[in-house]
Structure 1
């Protein structure tokens, strides 16, 4: 059902792109828009992960360069019965993480050094399990494709505002069509993009809680990340606002225009899930790690902090 809904929403975005092309260039414009949408989807299919990782200056790590973090992701991938993804660290203070790749066999997960330094081991496990949930649900490719088409609709609409032609007999109709192209189409694309992403964030939260076995840890991580995401600058998101939708918690975006549900609602859903699983609420200091035999003593920084801060 979720896959069918996503397919319908993607088809709606493509139809909007074609309608905008028709408004600006007639039947020829619609054909060009369809070909452009197909070309963008094909390019994104093969290159989405490379584009995103290069955008963030992410560096790949392995069992030798970041053993704690790499082994944690490996254990979670085994629990989820997924191929081992490539693992990256982004040298950035803002705590966040994302997943990318066209399928589970070509997936990559990344976390910022700020996230590894801020969260406990259990919380990092919850976050990375959430990202593996996106991989498991095949969200990463879909969301990148949606963002690409939605961005193209907005760009084409802005282009049409300045270059649309017409004659005096159809001037009024052209004015209305231009208004529709510039205002309605980008807004509709934004709504469809948000609908897809919000649905899938709830799905990834649920999958992540199941993979890690600890909904409370993911809920705690979301609260910590949200508290700092609006306070610590994220240079990549500031340069490329579309990148905000990739993160587990978007940065500097109002709830109305966010591609993610409100963090409070996600935490409430995870708490409900924990109650259904019979998991008692515990503090992070008392919670035993889902991936280690015993709980580590309370400490001021994460054991996964790659820089030892």
Structure 2
């Protein structure tokens, strides 16, 4: 991994903070799930829910990322079509110490977006046509480094586990509310005693878990930003890409909903506020930038990314993506 030129103490502080926060949130979600199991089934329910949350960590995911990419009508790219993109992806994967570089897919959309699927052994990164033709090559490197960092940090598995815990909590909440309705006549006749604090926990469990999952997602985004800087030694590139993506999304929403001007509360976001991400990235600005052009010099000698010949496709049944 490339870390020369970056203030190592700053990077370590950010990385440690994000890691501790993620572990705390995941442990809190697992503990809360165990509490719900205890409320419904007693001590057996506590251990059952704990095991149900831990076992997925020991299982190696076997699903192919191609199944997810089919939902976006993504097409796999070949090295001959985009040699510069493949060169950057392979170099970043090598620096991130991935066993195999990710496959690259193109989504025929004018939106600026990219995402990763899979796991460390088998992964794929999908980028939109709009992202490749709008961002500067240096910004594309930053975006690819961010997505590869998600793969290297096992964020996809962590968020999958968090989603599983949230779904299990929702199921337990429904079971608890069903039992409450069955016993409602006895409760009204004062024939049954009810712990209303436990009832409140069961009712609001899905919302509590969802807020914790959103917080975990924001933490992993910060961690991927920091890891991307470690890979490229160029925080300004990713910060610039985030600014352009945010500007494009805001412009689109204003055209669709002219009266939309209220910001979303930070605790309801899947991603941190772009301004906060940019500030954190710029705080990692290296004192010397002698290495940040190393990837570009090898793969983007002309400083311009070739436009892909396939134009974006549109379909009235598939929404804004197409």
Q: TM-score, normalised by structure 2?
A: 0.71
Q: Distance in 1 between matches of 2:58 and 2:307?
A: 37
Aligned counterpart in structure 1 of residue 101 of structure 2, from 64, 74, 84: 84
Structure with more relative contact order (C-alpha pairs < 8 Å, separation 6 or more): 2
Residue 10 and residue 55 in structure 1: after superposition, are their counterparts in 2 closer, same or farther (change >3 A)? Answer: farther
Q: Which residue is 2:114 aligned to?
A: 97
Residue 39 and residue 269 in structure 1: after superposition, are their counterparts in 2 closer, same or farther (change >3 A)? Answer: closer
Deviation string 1:257-278 (CA, Å, 9 cap, x unpaired) is 113221101111222222x333
Q: Distance in 1 between matches of 2:107 and 2:275?
A: 26
Residue 48 and residue 181 in structure 1: after superposition, are their counterparts in 2 closer, same or farther (change >3 A)? Answer: farther
Residue 23 and residue 54 in structure 1: after superposition, are their counterparts in 2 closer, same or farther (change >3 A)? Answer: farther
Q: Which residue is 2:235 aligned to?
A: 215
Aligned counterpart in structure 1 of residue 124 of structure 2, from 103, 108, 111: 108
Is the CA contact (8 Å cut-off) linking 2:236 and 2:281 kept in structure 1?
Answer: yes
Residue 85 and residue 293 in structure 1: after superposition, are their counterparts in 2 closer, same or farther (change >3 A)? Answer: closer
Q: How many pairs are equivalent?
A: 277
C-alpha displacement of 1:99: 1.8
Residue 81 and residue 32 in structure 1: after superposition, are their counterparts in 2 closer, same or farther (change >3 A)? Answer: closer
Equivalent residue of 1:277, what SS? coil
Q: Which residue is 1:199 aligned to?
A: 219
Residue 36 and residue 93 in structure 1: after superposition, are their counterparts in 2 closer, same or farther (change >3 A)? Answer: farther
Residue 263 and residue 187 in structure 1: after superposition, are their counterparts in 2 closer, same or farther (change >3 A)? Answer: same
Greater Cα shift, 42-51 or 253-262: 42-51
RMSD across aligned positions (CA)? 3.4
Matches within 5 A, 1:241-256: 254-256=265-267
Residue 159 of structure 2 corresponds to residue 143 of structure 1: yes
Matches within 5 A, 1:1-309: 1=16, 3=19, 5-27=21-43, 29-30=45-46, 32-34=48-50, 36-37=52-53, 45-47=61-63, 49=65, 52-82=68-98, 83-102=100-119, 104-164=120-180, 165-166=182-183, 167-168=186-187, 169=190, 173-183=194-204, 185-230=205-250, 232=252, 254-274=265-285, 276-279=286-289, 289=296, 291-292=298-299, 294-296=301-303, 303-305=306-308, 307=310
C-alpha displacement of 1:199: 2.4
Residue 28 and residue 78 in structure 1: after superposition, are their counterparts in 2 closer, same or farther (change >3 A)? Answer: closer
C-alpha displacement of 1:197: 2.4
Q: Distance in 2 between matches of 1:306 and 1:207?
A: 32
Equivalent residue of 1:123, what SS? helix
Unaligned 5+ runs, structure 2:
1-15, 254-262, 313-322
Q: Which residue is 1:246 aligned to?
A: none
Q: Distance in 2 between matches of 1:118 and 1:278?
A: 28
Rg: which structure is higher?
2
